[in-house]
Structure 1
Amino acid sequence: MERIDVHCHAVPPGYRKYAVDNGHEQPDGMPALPAWSAEGHIALMKKLNIRKSILSITSPGTHLTPGQDEFAADMTHRTNEELSEICNKNASHFGFFASLPFPSVPESIAEVDYALDKLGAVGFAVLSNANGIYLGDKALDPIFEKLNARKAVLFIHPTSCNMLAPGGQLHTIKTLGQYPRPMMEFMFDETRAVANLLLSGTVSNNTNITFIMSHCGCTIPSILDRIGSFSSIINGGDNQSSGFRKLLRERFYFDLAGFPFPDLIHGLLRTLGNGGEKRLVYGTDYPFTPEKVAVDLADQMEEGCNELFDADQRRAVYSGNAEKLLGF
């Protein structure tokens, strides 16, 4: 069955040099930045019957040094141009989510129009936190207002938990530091970000933004009721759980990159309720998920989807939902 890959990445030469030069040759505790080429990516696509892959820059993103907003904006600009050029050369295979130099407000706002109108981006990839500023922070409201005005698609990707100290020093939290942070901490950090987006009113206030949450909703399904109920205990008013669940069902899509089968998928589908498969999209997380693992996970997904969904539902999960979301 044909697929559209909404969660995959590129590590093009210009961005690789920028990341390594700024101390990210082993991002988030991983052994190394993986090798990547358009040719290798297209070969994997053929193997997995992927019609289109939406490339994005993943953690640590493009704003690598707090306080260097102009430099980060320039590197974000260059990286988006680099991705756009790759997509133009391989238009039948690739689209891309542009990066934004969060948490820099004016620079991010300026990049929105450029990426959409000049470079042909289909949406934006943002990290769960940008130098310790989490999605949903009031400081980012002007950027979200701009994204809302452009009816943008926002792909959320996890990163390491970061804290910005009063002196401007960035501290990466390395709980259980013997393990690479994508193993566990990524799931918690994106959950923090989405919880803050809901609790802050950012989602409900910006009705034209469509969100993609990665990795099958991370841990949101498990603690959504706790978040909504606890908020009412602290702030008074009604339990917000049902309202948050409605927002997830209507405003979010969820990619299936990583390890959604055999268990994680069930919690998300229970949260989404009847018709939840209409909010699912396919993802490989290549090349940070190596080719062999991506193929094995695709086999697991096919087995799991065959058990859960009929042919029309599977077609929606693999490609139809992404077609509607991205206007293909």
Structure 2
Amino acid sequence: MYDFHTHFIPENVIAWLKENKQIVNAKWINKEVGKDDFLIVNEKWGFELKKSFIDQNLYIQQQKEANINHSLISPIPQLFMYDFPVEITSEISEVYNQSLADWVTSSPTNLSALGTVPLNDPKKASQMLQECMSLGLKGAIIGPGLTEHMLSDDFFIPFFEEANRLKAILFIHPLLCEDPRLKRRMLPNLIGVPWETTVCAADILLSGLIDKYPNLKILFAHGGGFLPYQIGRLDKGFNQWEQVSTNLKVPPSEYLKRFWYDNVLWNEESIEFLVKTVGEDRVVTGTDFPFDLSVWPPKQMSNKGAESLLNTI
């Protein structure tokens, strides 16, 4: 079984955070007896730094216990650091990518990985994407854009051109939604996270980006957010409004089948709907391990999605 949505923080990255804790405002806070410290960077998105995040041996052991034979490891979104100067974002990206590359090189049968790039500077991001793939990584995990830019903006052209040339996997992972209405009852995580994916995925789909860069392998987290469930509304808009159809060659529901999606949905009927909508060759197993809302152990899926994404048929 594969795990396409799982996160890890190498020892060298933790060391970098400690060395630069004043620059990036990194804090280790003990919030609760019996819990590990919470890591908070720049007053955003704190999370419990469980040993599974940082202990390679424990991580491998727990993946094995869950019958996962191969894990595609990603950096954590809390450390994308797009809101810092590009020098800082690039530096932690280099440390993260090299550390993951060293690890997967030592265990290629069980592990592969995605890198992280300074998306706040698309030219630098394209350079670092090339570098991390030359190290053996499969592509990159990226956020759904920047505060002032969506991924379909021309601002990101240098990055997408290089990702298309490299035939990279781009795992688009949301950050916590900062909608002021979502300030209670864990709503930023419960619905804000899939909402961020929904906005990003719908914008990419309607922009025609996938026709412009046909070699991109875009994987959306958390089952694509709410987009698959509302695809009929996009199809209706395609038939109704030129603003919706102008960049597209076929209805939105056809483009939906040109992306990949993990099955981190916590509901079997939702997974079945996703598979029926996009095809089993477009859905891959994921867990979100070891975050609190991980699907653990993972729901077993057909390997067709994994094979089409990794081209291992």
Answer yes or no: same fold by TM over 0.5. yes
Change (3 A) 1:220 1:18: farther
Q: Which of 28, 34, 39 pairs up with 2:50?
A: 34
Q: Which has the higher contact order (CA 8 A, sep 6+)?
A: 1
Q: Which of 53, 67, 71 pairs up with 1:53?
A: 71
Change (3 A) 1:75 1:271: same
Whole-angstrom CA distance in 2 between matches of 1:126 and 1:221: 21
What is aligned with 1:62?
A: 80
Structure 1 residue 326 corresponds to structure 2 residue 306 = no
- Give the conservation status (yes or no) of the 8 Å contact 2:130–2:162: no
Aligned length: 290
Change (3 A) 1:239 1:100: closer
- Give the conservation status (yes or no) of the 8 Å contact 2:142–2:172: yes
- Give the conservation status (yes or no) of the 8 Å contact 1:135–1:194: no
Structure 1 residue 269 corresponds to structure 2 residue 286 = no
Structure 1: unaligned runs, 5 residues or longer? 162-171, 303-313
Structure 2: unaligned runs, 5 residues or longer? 27-38
Whole-angstrom CA distance in 1 between matches of 2:109 and 2:87: 34
Identity of counterpart residues, as a percentage? 23
> Counterparts of 1:145-160 in structure 2 under 5 Å?
145-160=161-176
Change (3 A) 1:80 1:73: same
Matching residue's letter, 1:39: N
> Counterparts of 1:297-316 in structure 2 under 5 Å?
298=298, 301-302=299-300, 314=301
Shift of 1:60: 2.5
Q: Which of 209, 213, 217 pairs up with 2:216?
A: 209
What is aligned with 1:43?
A: 61
Change (3 A) 1:47 1:136: same
Shift of 1:320: 4.1
Change (3 A) 1:87 1:131: farther
What is aligned with 1:166?
A: none
What is aligned with 2:243?
A: 235
Structure 1 residue 113 corresponds to structure 2 residue 130 = yes
What is aligned with 1:167?
A: none
Matching residue's letter, 1:212: L
What is aligned with 2:184?
A: 178
Whole-angstrom CA distance in 1 between matches of 2:244 and 2:89: 41
Note the aligned Cα RMSD (angstroms).
Answer: 2.7
Change (3 A) 1:61 1:244: farther
Report SS of the residue matched to 2:8: coil
Shift of 1:62: 2.5
- Give the conservation status (yes or no) of the 8 Å contact 1:26–1:33: no
Shift of 1:258: 4.1
Q: Which of 152, 174, 198 pairs up with 1:136?
A: 152
Matching residue's letter, 1:151: K
- Given the two structures, how large is their TM-score scaled by the length of structure 1? 0.79
What is aligned with 2:35?
A: none
Whole-angstrom CA distance in 2 between matches of 1:72 and 1:4: 29
Q: Which of 143, 156, 165 pairs up with 1:127?
A: 143
